[in-house]
């Protein structure tokens, strides 16, 4: 997780292929790209709200890097009709939970899908909810869903005003639903996962989200009032691979009593929340210039239909809807054979299907169109490495990717792996891995690769020091087992080296 949650205590063609006949525009702000069919004015407002929420997290967690490595692309559609063609399969069909937004992470981009026809007292709640998922970073992959979604629900009613920010305001919809239905037993709630009906079906899903919000709201506000750290304790136990129910009992006490307390908390209907005071107005004047009467410093350009469809196809591909993505990409490339986004996504699809030669062809087409595309250089090298190559061409492509994008951590890591495979330039390989870790400190794999290079250099104590950190980062039994195997390997090689060279 990129930030410490304890700090909260501070306060023909298929119908979907042309989902909308509206013109699409792209709005770029300093930290976000918004693609929308709702016009440039609405696109600016969406980008502005994301910039504001980014500021809130930056203010709450000043020691953390709130910006992810991969760019953030927001697909903001006008209404349900525009969102339905892009929904994951798990949400499609009768009696499924109606989505208003979705966060999706891919190797190259962070996508946020949202609809803009929200109603109620918090019209930007979808933005704030999905942005919280983005800030949770790798926590999405190991944090229990009730806490993951509960935190997003907690932040979604954030109210950003000129002089202050209100955090954790009660959710009217969640309260109404909770008052009309019985709570999910906490042991059940704690074990809900992505395959559970509680996460996808309309009625059960609504209750899951509402109860997750209520429990997080209760725990966070009482922790702040009583100066306790139950949420932080629970997260620490989960990070140590503790069972979510067992961790709940240790962090929260008797779960039956907690459930009764939660029911009383909901019935009482009295809720406190946090107020963040700051010169928010001054900040926004300087960084976004988006207050009334000022021109926002956003770059806006119209998108052609193929350009918009290529972005939507990439989102579909990242969400596992491969057949639909291919169909839409085929349409894009028929209209525009040089569309770089479509060519790259085709390369990704072939790569995931382990059709390495086909994938290489797609990335070569990208480089024919744009020699400065760092992703194409990177994946061209990776594909050849997957086929066992350690050629100079591989090294050249990786170095070019680094030159074109010095902040792209995977290229440093793969170049280090290339040198490790060659058993040459190991000191440089170590420096490259350190740079990858610096750029993406949450990556367990980069730590493992660093330890492997240190072992090859004969720096066994240093390798074990790196692996000690990796053991603390491992959040699943599989990750823990991988780290432990490498620890054993380092110890074995060290013992053998000590015997051979006393």
Nearest-angstrom CA–CA distance, 336 and 164: 48
What class is the 5-287 domain?
A: mainly alpha
Neighbouring residues of 69: CB distance < 8 A, sequence distance ≥ 6 = 407, 408, 409, 439, 440
Query: Token match 């999910």: residue?
Result: 184
DSSP secondary structure, 260-284, as one string: HHHHHHHHH-----EEEES-HHHHH
Q: What is the pLDDT confidence band of residue 425, given thresholds at 50, 70 and 90?
A: very high
pLDDT for the residue 264: 92
At residue 152, φ and ψ (nearest 5 deg) are -65, -40
Q: Which of 412, 445, 444 is nearest to 431 (CA)?
A: 412
Cβ neighbours for 468, distance < 8 A, ≥ 6 positions apart: none
pLDDT at 15 over 90: no
Tell me the CB-side half-sphere exposure of residue 22, using CA atoms within 13 A. Answer: 16
Mean pLDDT in the chain?
A: 85
Q: What is the pLDDT of residue 44?
A: 93
Is pLDDT above 50 for 359? yes
- Give the mean pLDDT of 412-438: 97
The answer to whether residue 11 scores a pLDDT higher than 50 is no
Question: Residue 502 — pLDDT band, cuts 50, 70, 90?
Answer: very low
pLDDT value, residue 167: 86
Least confident of 45-49, 147-151, 200-204: 200-204
Per-residue pLDDT band at 20 (split at 50, 70, 90): very low
- pTM (2 decimals)? 0.78
* φ/ψ (deg, to 5) at 143: -70, 135
The mean pLDDT value for 344-363 works out to: 96
Return the pLDDT at 93.
63
Domain borders along the chain are 5-287, 442-502
The pLDDT of residue 117 is: 84
Residue 125's pLDDT band, with cuts at 50, 70 and 90, is confident
Report the pLDDT value the prediction gives residue 200, as an integer from 0 to 100. 57
Tell me the mean pLDDT in the region 309-324: 95
What is the pLDDT averaged over residues 229-235? Answer: 92
Of 84 and 403, more confident? 403
Contacts of 191 (CB under 8 A, 6+ apart): 144, 244, 245
């Amino acid at each position: 997780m990129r930030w410490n949650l304890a700090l909260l205590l501070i306060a023909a063609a298929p119908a979907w292929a042309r989902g909308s006949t509206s013109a699409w525009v792209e709005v770029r702000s300093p930290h976000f790209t918004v693609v929308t069919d709702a016009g440039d004015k609405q696109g600016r407002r969406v980008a502005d709200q994301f910039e504001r929420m980014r500021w809130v997290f930056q203010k709450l967690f000043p020691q953390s890097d709130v910006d992810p490595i991969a760019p953030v692309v927001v697909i903001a559609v006008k209404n349900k009709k525009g969102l339905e063609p892009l929904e994951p399969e798990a949400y499609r069909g009768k009696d499924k939970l109606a989505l208003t937004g979705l966060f999706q992470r891919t190797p190259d981009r962070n996508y946020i899908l949202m609809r803009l026809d929200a109603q109620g007292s918090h019209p930007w709640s979808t933005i704030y909810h999905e942005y919280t998922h983005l800030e949770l970073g790798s926590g999405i992959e190991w944090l229990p869903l009730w806490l993951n979604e509960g935190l997003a629900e907690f932040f979604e009613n954030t109210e950003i005003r000129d002089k202050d920010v209100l955090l954790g305001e009660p959710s009217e919809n969640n309260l109404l639903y909770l008052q009309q239905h019985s709570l999910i037993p906490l042991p059940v709630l704690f074990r809900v996962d992505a395959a559970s009906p509680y996460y996808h079906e309309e009625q059960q899903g609504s209750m899951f989200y509402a109860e997750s919000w209520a429990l997080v709201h209760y725990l966070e506000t009482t922790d702040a009032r009583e100066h306790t750290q139950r949420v932080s304790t629970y997260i620490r136990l989960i990070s140590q691979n503790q069972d979510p129910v067992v961790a709940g009992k240790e962090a929260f006490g008797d779960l039956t009593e907690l459930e009764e307390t939660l029911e009383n908390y909901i019935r009482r209907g009295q809720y406190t929340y946090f107020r963040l005071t700051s010169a928010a107005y001054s900040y926004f004047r300087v960084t976004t210039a988006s207050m009334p009467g000022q021109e926002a410093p956003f770059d806006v350009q119209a998108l052609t239909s193929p350009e918009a469809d290529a972005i939507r196809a990439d989102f579909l591909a990242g969400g596992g809807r491969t057949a639909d993505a291919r169909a839409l990409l085929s349409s894009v490339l028929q209209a525009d054979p040089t569309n770089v986004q479509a060519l790259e996504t085709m390369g990704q699809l072939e790569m995931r299907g382990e059709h390495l030669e086909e994938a290489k062809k797609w990335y070569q087409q990208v480089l024919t169109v744009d020699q400065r595309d760092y992703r194409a250089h990177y994946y061209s090298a990776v594909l050849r490495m997957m086929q066992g190559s350690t050629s100079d061409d591989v090294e050249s492509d990786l170095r070019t990717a680094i030159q074109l994008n010095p902040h792209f951590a995977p290229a440093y890591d793969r170049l280090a792996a290339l040198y490790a495979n060659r058993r040459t330039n190991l000191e440089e390989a170590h420096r490259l891995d350190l740079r990858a870790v610096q750029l993406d400190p949450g990556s367990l794999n980069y730590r493992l690769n660093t330890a492997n290079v240190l072992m090859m250099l004969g720096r066994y104590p240093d390798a074990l020091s790196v692996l000690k950190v990796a053991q603390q980062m491992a959040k699943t039994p599989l990750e823990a087992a991988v780290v432990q195997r490498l620890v054993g390997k380092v110890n074995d090689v060290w013992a053998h080296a000590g015997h051979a060279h006393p």
